[in-house]
Structures are given as C-alpha cells and as structure tokens.
Amino acid sequence: MAGLARDLIGTWRLLSRIDRDASDEPVDEPTLGSDPLALLFFDGAGNFAAQFMKRDRSIAVATPTSTRQNNTTAIGGYDAYFGTYRVDEQSGDVHTRLVGALSPDHVGATMMRNMRVEEGKLVIRLTTTAADDTQVHRTLTWERAG
C-alpha cells in the first residue's frame, strides 16, 4: 500500500472546518455550522465512513432544497455517509463512492476530495457550492483519534 492510502487508515476527529468564497472571505454554512463535531474512518480494505453533527442542534435548521456540488446534504444538523474510496497517489485526490447516506439523493454518488497527511494531521480540500450557488472552497483539518 502506497503513501497516502496507507496514511489515511484510521479514525480521524475534526479540528476545523473553514469555508471561503472566491475572494477568500469566510462563508457561513448554516446546516452544520463552522465547527461541527465529526469523525472520519478509513480502513485498509477501501471502506470509509463519515459522521458530522452541528454542535448546537437545539435550534431548528432548514434542510437545503438543492443538492450542493461535490457535497452531501445535512438533515436536522446531522450528516452521515459511508462507502468505498480510491486514492490517486499522484494528485492526492480521493474519490469516495457513497454506498449509504443520510440523504437518499446521495446514495451511489461519487465525491472527490484532495487530501494529504502532514505532521499527523489530515487536511482535506474540496470545492462545493453555498446555498446561493456561489463556489465555496472548504478546508477540513483532522487529528488522529485512534
């Protein structure tokens, strides 16, 4: 097993989630908030799972009416999905195929994230869209939880 594919294996806890628009300004993401609780799992057989939860779910959150580009949909301040993954060692791109997802519209979808593991941290970058369909650049930083 090569570098990134080997380094991904394990359980990861989210440290930060930062969304920025094309002019590098912060973008609010209301469904999960800017600091959700999250765990991410990768195994050596090519399986993965992710769980995200808004820290304060006491305030009702409307479910988005449109599907975001290259992203899943949180429902009630919670998002969860699992499936298989494939690593492109050259580019650092990881393609995840969703076998199961909280949002039925995402079952069978393939998502792409650029990933790297440096100094014990997993950094994931992706491009998605905001509620108003503007482009958002998201960076998630994770630490090993197990």
E strands in 21-134 = 37-42, 47-53, 78-88, 93-101, 110-118, 121-129
Q: Give pLDDT, residue 62.
A: 65
H/E run at residue 8: helix 3-8
Q: Give pLDDT, residue 1.
A: 61
Task: Note down pLDDT in tens along the chain; length 146 residues.
Answer: 679 999 999 999 999 999 999 999 998 888 898 899 999 999 999 999 999 999 988 877 666 555 566 678 888 899 999 999 999 999 999 999 999 999 998 999 999 999 999 999 999 999 988 777 789 999 999 999 97
- pTM for the predicted model, two decimal places: 0.90
Of 30, 122, 127, 33, nearest in space to 71 by CA: 127
For the chain, how many structural domains are there in total?
1
Domain that holds residue 57: 3-144
Of 75, 15, 74, nearest in space to 39 by CA: 15
- Which CATH number belongs to the domain containing residue 45 in this structure? 2.40.128.280
